Structure 1
């Protein structure tokens, strides 16, 4: 049984590559999808498709509509969502993606450091599993196949 896993969360670290690499090394039959990781393309996609915008607000609005559509399509096709909250950046997109996963009734593994236990307590309570590291999330994936 092959599962499709949507990897939601911050795009500034290599956590996705770490998880994908470790999953491949261990032979897990997984396909990974996720947000557009090319930050410049993600920010510019609205103007690239519908043309120049008069200001940054409408530029962001045009891009967010297309990015939200992409996220929704890929997440609906996913069997499972892993959402990582890091400590370094504001995590608005991660919160939105985790909320969308719950709305779509997708199983959710939430990765968050100990320092974010309090601010993420309600979301952690709604996730199927909450862990602190990528390796722990990978252990959960392994368990599905045991």
Structure 2
């Protein structure tokens, strides 16, 4: 049985530059995959920076935290606000992720007391935190993944896979367009059909209405089910065709788009494919 890599979400100030040396160290190590928010400031702002009405920021961090086994949070100093780290720790804790937290901002020691009940381990230096992370991702076990002690906290992933369920207009043209977009991306699996089990196992619902004709009960049904399961939902209403019925659907979507291209652009961003954005 092969090694099951850990998926580690790196959380820190957007202005710190400690992540690249860490990623480089494990470039040839099959035990770990690093993910996180977008680190390209220009692209991040274009897709929806924090506080923006565009949904890119939420889509990206939610999807990557969903796929992660471990969150490694680091506050290097108190020059920058670190609300994003607290937000991501809160999400990760609720999802049962293992959380390692480093605080080197001594002036924030008292304020950081609030985070202690959310995390598994805390450190006062980056080197100590990274040493602990290294022990986790390199520890041997009979199954090649997490040791029995670590598996109490972590469920290692076979690999990083994003499952996208398609629902909407009966025309195959838009589905084929989505499939073509990801045919060469091994990390993305496109799921079609009407099996409720497939939607339950998916990460993201990509719902598309291609024109103003027809009542897409399947789309509304899928959105309701996916929302209740906590899935991320991207709703594309091509041409922004008005329908009072679809006003019921829009509030339950995490992103609303009026062209298929725009919806695919945000889907790329959510799953971390930045080279074509």
Which TM class, normalised by the smaller chain length?
0.7 to 0.9
65, 76, 85: which one aligns with 1:86 = 76
Question: Normalising by structure 2, what TM-score?
Answer: 0.44
Q: Name 2:118's counterpart in structure 1.
A: 126
Question: Normalising by structure 1, what TM-score?
Answer: 0.80
Q: Name 1:107's counterpart in structure 2.
A: 98
Question: Larger relative CO (CA 8 A, sep 6+): 1 or 2?
Answer: 1
Unmatched runs of 5 consecutive residues or more in structure 1: 48-58
Provide the secondary structure at the position in 1 that maps to 2:16: coil
Whether the aligned pair in 1 keeps the contact of 2:10 and 2:35 (CA below 8 Å) is yes
Whether the aligned pair in 1 keeps the contact of 2:76 and 2:105 (CA below 8 Å) is no
Distance 2:116 2:11 in 1: 15
Larger radius of gyration: 2
Whether the aligned pair in 1 keeps the contact of 2:89 and 2:118 (CA below 8 Å) is no
Aligned Cα root-mean-square deviation (Å): 2.2
Change (3 A) 1:10 1:39: same
2:38 is aligned with 1:36: yes
67, 70, 85: which one aligns with 1:77 = 67
Q: Per-residue displacement from partner, 1:37-66 (whole Å, max 9, x unpaired)?
A: 11122122149xxxxxxxxxxx94323x32
1:86 Cα deviation after fit: 2.6
Structure number with the higher helix fraction is 1
Whether the aligned pair in 2 keeps the contact of 1:28 and 1:142 (CA below 8 Å) is no
